Amino acid sequence: MLCERCKKNNATVFYRESINGKERSLSLCEECAEKARKNGELETEFPVDGFFTKPLMGVDKLFGSLFGFPQLVGQTTSDGKKCPLCGATFRDLMAEGKAGCPECYKTFSDELSSTISRIHGATTHTGGAPSRFKAGRDLKQKIRSLEKGIKTAVEEENYEEAARLRDELRAIRAEKGDEEK
């Protein structure tokens, strides 16, 4: 896709905002985007919804534009890549401000990671999980604590304990490997 302004370079910066229901979108190259920023065209603040909006309204609008804000989108366009489940491209995700399906998060995990950490100030979930993931989560935690235990034991030159923990870890890993096959 070519830049809307110069029509020469590839567009790498996508800007989208919605003001009072009117949508405005721009696809620019980095050069033209920089100019636009300097001219104050892209200088709009995050359109934080008014204080007295109706409940639940406005959240999507706010983050829809957050999602497409030029600085957050970065330079990758990932033009060819499509989500295997829903067929969405990364550009679709940006235009909609939302994922196309649960699988999109895997497909576009690299492209989305900075946006996600910008929104939440974190990158890793620490809360609850569906039951089918709980066993895996517990196992992971167990492995992590065993690894830590081995390290401590070695540091304390408690080799007997380290060997015991290593055997336990090996057993768990062997079991896990079987499960996955």
Q: How many CB atoms lie within 10 A of CB 120?
A: 10
Pick between residue 38 and residue 137 the one whose CB is nearest to other proteins: 137
Interface residues toward Zn ion, by CB under 5 A:
3, 5-6, 9, 29, 32, 83, 85-86, 88, 100-101, 103-104
Pick between residue 74 and residue 158 the one whose CB is nearest to other proteins: 74
Q: Which does 32 bind (CB under 5 to 8 A by kind): other proteins, Zn ion, none?
A: Zn ion
Q: Which of 106-119 are b and which e, b meaning 16 or more Cβ less than 10 Å from the residue's Cβ?
A: ebbeebbeebeeee
Min CB(140)–other proteins separation in Å: 8
Q: Which does 160 bind (CB under 5 to 8 A by kind): Zn ion, other proteins, none?
A: none
Min CB(97)–Zn ion separation in Å: 14
By three-state DSSP, how is residue 35 classified? helix
Min CB(131)–Zn ion separation in Å: 24
Question: CA-to-CA distance for 171 and 177, rounded, in angstroms?
Answer: 10
Cα–Cα nearest to 163, from 178, 143, 149, 142: 149
Question: CA-to-CA distance for 34 and 153, rounded, in angstroms?
Answer: 55
Interface residues toward other proteins, by CB under 8 A:
50-60, 63, 67, 85-88, 97-102, 105-106, 112, 115-116, 119-133, 136-137, 140
Determine contact, residues 30/74, Cβ cutoff 8 Å.
Answer: no
Q: Which does 124 bind (CB under 5 to 8 A by kind): Zn ion, other proteins, none?
A: other proteins
> Exposed, middle or buried: residue 134 (CB in 10 Å: 0-12, 13-18, 19+)?
exposed
Q: Which does 7 bind (CB under 5 to 8 A by kind): Zn ion, other proteins, none?
A: none
